[in-house]
């Protein structure tokens, strides 16, 4: 006897023992437990959902005071199989006290689709980024880009301004001066035909210059706070990566504080996605980045990584970027140059939990690690 692992293994095991094909999908739904945190559920709704869950073999974990209605709302955890959630997503549509919204949210989670995993290489066209091994200017940058593409990078992210904690501010003219030679070379050699190029900037002038050079993605650490960035993405038919950051690079790590980091980051994405859609952008062109290390403590970062799959509910690709970051040093004291192993551990877990784009300094090692992880599913 042995315990089956991933859903892929469960499907394969059912097929191996020659379960009837129609039954495989039905039985597989009963082989995976799901857990949903529900914040501020009205007390009557909690009691109804508790009974409905128990009636089908699922469970709603609630505080002890719920049955006595001591408070108007409670935080709860819904536990059950995929099959249970399908039933509840239909059953709660007819219930009052906000349970219709819970049902609709369950339907959204059940409809989530997976995206193929892609590796994004990092090129920092400046002399201030926290990892010296990512700093490249002009011709050296192009050589490194070609090397990353050969190693398997499908995307290349290029930024001319450091966004590390307490990074010095850079003027628009300096940022343009740094990135122009690289953009020009990419355009001249038509490298954009072989990979997707991303401009790591929130400066409209810099972004537009890159898009004119063939870039197809805007990586905006301010989360598209400037509407003109969204307009540029639409004008040039480019994708947009929205990142969450509390504060600015100069202030973000002074005292990061959240009542609930998952809830607050999720609300931020919901608002920014709505803003983009209102201007005409489709979800398929939006990428989400939770912003590890951008206004987060180690505990915040770990929570986001462990629950990365939640953000797939928005219907967008999810990017993870923890390459050689200080959170590794907070787990085990390690200089930047020696954080590759920690980086791989974080990124593999993030991909397992739902991320599909891995932003990293070490392309070759990530391509290898991800390929091995894929066959182990």
Given the residues 154, 164, 325, 339, select the one marked as catalytic.
325
Query: If you write DSSP's letter for every residue of 213-262 in order, what string do you get?
Result: TT--EEEETT-S-SHHHHHHHHHTT-EEEEE--SS-TTTTTS----S-HH
Structural tokens at position 163: 């966004």
Q: Where are the alpha helices (DSSP H) in the chain?
A: 7-16, 21-28, 43-55, 82-91, 99-110, 138-151, 172-189, 204-212, 227-235, 261-278, 298-306, 326-331, 340-352, 363-375
Given the residues 135, 144, 239, 359, select the one marked as catalytic.
359
* Catalytic residue check, 42: no
Residue pair 159/199 in contact (Cβ under 8 Å)? The answer is: yes
Residues 6+ apart with CB under 8 A from 2: none
Q: For the chain, what is the radius of gyration of the CA atoms?
A: 23
* Catalytic residue check, 325: yes
Structural tokens at position 136: 């490249």
Known catalytic residues are: 325, 359
């Amino acid at each position: 006897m042995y315990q089956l692992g991933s859903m892929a293994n469960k499907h394969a095991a059912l097929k191996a023992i020659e379960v009837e094909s129609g039954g495989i999908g039905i039985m597989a739904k009963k082989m995976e437990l799901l857990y949903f945190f529900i914040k501020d559920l009205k007390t009557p709704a909690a009691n109804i959902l508790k009974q409905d869950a128990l009636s089908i073999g699922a469970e709603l974990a609630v505080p002890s005071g719920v049955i006595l209605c001591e408070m108007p709302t409670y935080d709860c955890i819904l536990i059950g199989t995929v099959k249970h959630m399908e039933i509840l997503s239909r059953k709660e549509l007819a219930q009052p006290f906000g349970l219709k919204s819970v049902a609709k949210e369950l339907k959204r989670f059940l409809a989530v689709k997976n995206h193929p995993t892609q590796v994004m290489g990092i090129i920092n066209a400046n002399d201030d980024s926290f990892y010296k091994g990512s700093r490249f200017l002009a011709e050296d940058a192009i050589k490194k880009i070609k090397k990353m593409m050969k190693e398997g990078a499908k995307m290349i992210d290029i930024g001319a301004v450091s966004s590390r904690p307490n990074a010095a501010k850079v003027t628009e003219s300096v940022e343009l001066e740094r990135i122009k030679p690289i953009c020009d070379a990419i355009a001249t050699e038509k490298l954009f035909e072989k990979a997707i190029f991303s401009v790591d900037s929130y400066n409209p002038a810099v972004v537009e210059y890159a898009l004119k050079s063939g870039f197809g993605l805007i990586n905006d650490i301010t989360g598209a706070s400037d509407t003109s960035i969204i307009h540029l993405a639409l004008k040039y038919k480019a994708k947009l990566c929205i990142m969450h950051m509390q504060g600015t690079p100069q202030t973000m790590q002074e005292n990061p504080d959240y009542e609930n980091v998952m809830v607050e980051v999720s609300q931020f994405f919901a608002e920014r996605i709505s803003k983009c859609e209102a201007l005409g952008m489709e979800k398929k062109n939006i990428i989400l980045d939770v912003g590890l290390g951008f206004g987060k403590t180690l505990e915040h970062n770990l929570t986001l990584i462990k629950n990365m799959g939640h953000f797939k509910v928005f219907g967008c690709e999810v990017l993870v970027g923890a390459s050689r970051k200080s959170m590794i040093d907070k787990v085990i004291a390690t200089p930047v140059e020696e954080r590759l192993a920690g980086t791989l551990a974080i990124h593999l877990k993030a991909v397992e939990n739902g991320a599909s784009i891995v932003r990293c300094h070490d392309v070759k090692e990530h391509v290898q690690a991800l390929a091995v992880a894929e066959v182990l599913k």
